[in-house]
Amino acid sequence: LKRCFPDFSTKNGVLTVANQTTFKDGRGKTRNVTDLREAANGINNVLDARSVGMKIFEDYAISWYWILIGLFIAMIVSLLFLVLLRFTAGVLFWIFIFGVIGIIAYGIWHCYWEYDHLKGIPGSDLTVYDIGFQTDFRVYLQLRQTWLAFMIILCVVEIIIILMLIFLRNRIRIAIALLKEGSRAIGYIMSTLFYPIVTFILIAICISYWAVTAVFLATSGEPVYKVMANQTLCKYANLTCDPETFNTTNVTKLCPGAQCTFAFYGGESLYHKYIFIFQLANAFVFLWLVNFAIALGQCTLAGAFASYYWASRKPADIPLWPLFSSFGRAIRYHTGSLAFGALILAIVQLIRVILEYLDHKLKGTQNSFTRFLLCCLKCCFWCLEKFLKFINRNAYIMIAIYGKNFCTSAKEAFFLLMRNVVRVAVLDKVTDFLLFLGKILVAGGVGVLAFFFFTQRIPVFAQEAPTLNYYWVPLLTVIIGSYLVAHGFFSVYAMCVDTLFLCFCEDLERNDGSTAKPYFMSASLHRILGKKELSPKKA
């Protein structure tokens, strides 16, 4: 850095530099050696951080090849998990459900054992009201009333879960069958698993466009200098000035002590006054484009999976290139509908950004009502954004199926889901559980393998593993990267399940299983619903 650093030493218990304890800074102000030490420590922290950053960069330079191998393994494991879901979806779900029931049953037994064990112990029959509020939670565990309350709560939860399984068992079977059907659809249309790469590229282009535009807007100006002087005595105070010619003007004579100092970077034209509005417009365009890229991906995937469901004979009647055909239809016929849906969502997101900005600016204020109002608005618009994302997602599916405009598709999708609201809730929870379990299994499994590899715990890998400064650098990269890879694959699967579900609901309402209006659903869904047998052509 071409700077000298002080050499601190202690003399007779006093901190000194070159046998001195006081110094003068660049402004002639006397400083203590302690101030110098604090400044030097800050600089040393920066240099230490730079050193750590260099070591991390070295670790990436050495281990990038193994990181890519770990991410490739995560991709293979994610693919296998999705393909095998057609065989394991029901097993995994019921193992989890019965595991939860068993754990709650053990909790009930343990609460009863503690309740019975405390019988006769002095003080255990007191109530929570008698002892009042206690910061030590262990005090409450010495009361029989506490364990009785725990036992009652667990019993209620256990009964609710069992009753839900009894009354919703058929809908759970439908949800599991749809999950298996989704795995089968992905097996026939494997190209859909790699479509998130296209979405990633489009979003990366949007981010690059926004960042470059924001930088150009922020730097579109020149340094502005203003006269700094006593405003009551100098009429030139706060006026713009030129630092190169300031000393030759009459300002220094009329206003003794006045200085021409830097004020801000920009300008005072009409354009520079509204630069913040341009930044907001740039942010709005960014949100609109990102939402459009996501909408394009959802509509494309929905069209591909819908072509699978509505094929009379699977896979013979599936189009040759379903993903590319769906992408072409979305670009040619549905661009306006996708842009309109993205526009509505972008407006709500921009309002949320403005609310966050206002909250940041007003954080230091003491007005409780203002903070409460902002909190309510943020909560409401967060809920509205979640609702719009749900509506848009299903509207894009209906657009891909029927080719209608956005408003009509959103209305039809909403009422179709409301007519099947229980099935929606069950399918959503079952899907979320299985996909979350899959992400944890993929990221955890690949992470454990990477841990044993990079820490050289396995003798077979000891010679192949690179020597690193921080083994956690590639390890965390592999774990986070594996989770993102699994998320990309499973997002396609979730879109597949949602599309098949809407097609399934439409199939039930449009057709009756007769020869004139046969069902397009799979044989497993046919059996669960107890409908008429499939025709020989469809079977």
- Given a cut of 90, whether residue 286 has pLDDT beyond it is yes
User: Distance (Å, rounded) from C-alpha 83 to C-alpha 383?
Assistant: 34
| Helices and strands, number each (H, E), in the chain | 15, 7
Q: 380: which residues sit within 8 A by CB, 6+ positions away? A: none
| CB count in 10 Å sphere of residue 356 | 12
Opening angle at CA 304, ends 298 and 310, nearest 5? 125
What is the per-residue pLDDT across 494-507, written as a single tens digit (0 to 9) for each?
Answer: 899 899 889 988 88
Q: How many CB atoms lie within 10 A of CB 305?
A: 32
Predicted local confidence at residue 534, as pLDDT: 43
- Strands (E) across 203-319 are located at 222-228, 240-241, 259-266
Strands 22-24 and 30-32, sheet pairing: antiparallel
pLDDT, one tens digit per residue, over 16-43 is: 777 777 777 666 677 777 777 777 777 7
Question: With 50 as the cut, is the pLDDT of residue 533 above it?
Answer: no
Cα 439 to chain centroid distance, Å, stands at 14
Q: In the predicted model, what is the mean pLDDT of residues 399-415?
A: 93
pLDDT value at residue 182: 85
Query: DSSP string covering 30-43, please?
Result: EEEHHHHHHHHHHH
386 pLDDT above the threshold of 90: yes
pLDDT of residue 263: 78
pLDDT at 124 over 50: yes
Q: Token pair for residue 404?
A: 């209608």
- Asked, as a colleague might, if the bond just before 315 is cis with ω within 30 of 0, I would say yes
Judge whether residue 535 has pLDDT over 70: no
> What's the pLDDT score for residue 16?
79
CB-based contacts of 536, cutoff 8 Å, min separation 6: none
Residue 222's beta-bridge partner residues? 266
pLDDT on residue 325: 92
Beta carbons of 87 and 428 less than 8 angstroms apart:
no
Specify the amino acid at residue 182: G
How far apart are alpha carbons 338 and 392 in whole angstroms? 9
Residue 150 C-alpha from the chain's centroid:
35
Top pLDDT among 1 and 140 is at 140
For residues 176 and 89, is the Cβ–Cβ distance under 8 A? yes
Distance separating alpha carbons of residues 518 and 496, to the nearest angstrom: 22
Q: How far, CA to CA in Å, does 57 sit from each of 72, 196, 450, 513?
A: 22, 28, 19, 63
Give the model confidence (pLDDT) of 60-74 as tens digits. Answer: 888 888 888 888 888
Which residues are within 8 A (CB) of 11 and not within 5 positions of it... i.e. 6 or more apart? 19
Q: Does 426 score more than 80 pLDDT?
A: yes
- Which residues contact residue 333 at a Cβ distance below 8 angstroms, ignoring those fewer than 6 apart? 403
Least confident of 88-92, 128-132, 403-407, 441-445: 128-132
Pick the closest to residue 470 from 23, 52, 182 (CA basis). Answer: 52
Alpha-carbon gap, residue 121 to 136, rounded angstroms: 20
**pLDDT in the model for residue 517:** 80
Helix (H, G, I), strand (E, B) or coil at 283: helix
- For residue 389, the model assigns a pLDDT of 93
Q: Render pLDDT for 140-190 as a digit per residue (tens, 0 to 9).
A: 778 888 888 889 999 999 999 899 888 888 888 888 888 888 888 888 888
Q: What is the pLDDT of residues 217-246, one digit of tens each?
A: 877 777 778 888 765 667 778 788 888 888
Structure tokens at 38: 């604090």
Q: Report strand pairing: 240-241 vs 222-228.
A: antiparallel
CA count, 13 A, side-chain hemisphere, 505: 25
Q: Indicate the average pLDDT of the chain.
A: 82
pLDDT grade, residue 388 (50/70/90)?
very high
Q: Please state, in angstroms and as integers, the Cα–Cα distance from residue 310 to each residue in 291, 399, 410, following that order.
A: 28, 15, 21
264, two tokens:
């801000």
**Which residues contact residue 476 at a Cβ distance below 8 angstroms, ignoring those fewer than 6 apart?**
none
Q: How many CA atoms lie within 13 A of 335 on its CB side?
A: 4
Confidence at residue 134, expressed as pLDDT on a 0 to 100 scale: 67
Q: How far apart are alpha carbons 252 and 492 in whole angstroms?
A: 70
Would you say residue 532 has pLDDT above 50? no
- Cβ neighbour number for residue 288 with a 10 Å cutoff: 20
Q: Any idea which of 64-73, 256-265, 422-431 has the lowest mean pLDDT?
A: 256-265
Give me the pLDDT at residue 536, please.
37
Residue type, 276: F
Contact 140, 128 (CB under 8 A): yes
Give the pLDDT score at 28. 67
pLDDT digits (tens, 9 = 90+) for 439-470: 888 888 888 888 777 776 556 555 666 677 77
Asked if pLDDT for residue 346 goes beyond 90, the answer is: yes
pLDDT band for 411, please (50, 70, 90 cuts).
very high
**Using CA atoms, how far apart are residues 267 and 273, in angstroms rounded to an integer?**
8
Instruction: Examine the pLDDT at 473 and tell me if it is beyond 50.
Output: yes
- pLDDT score of 155: 94
Rounded Cα distance between 208 and 226, Å, is: 35
**C-alpha to C-alpha distances, 339 to 293, 303, 346, nearest whole angstrom:** 9, 17, 10
pLDDT of 438 above 70? yes
CA distance 448 to 157: 35
pLDDT digits (tens, 9 = 90+) for 309-338: 888 887 778 888 899 999 999 999 999 999
The conformation of residue 193, written as its DSSP 8-state character, comes to G
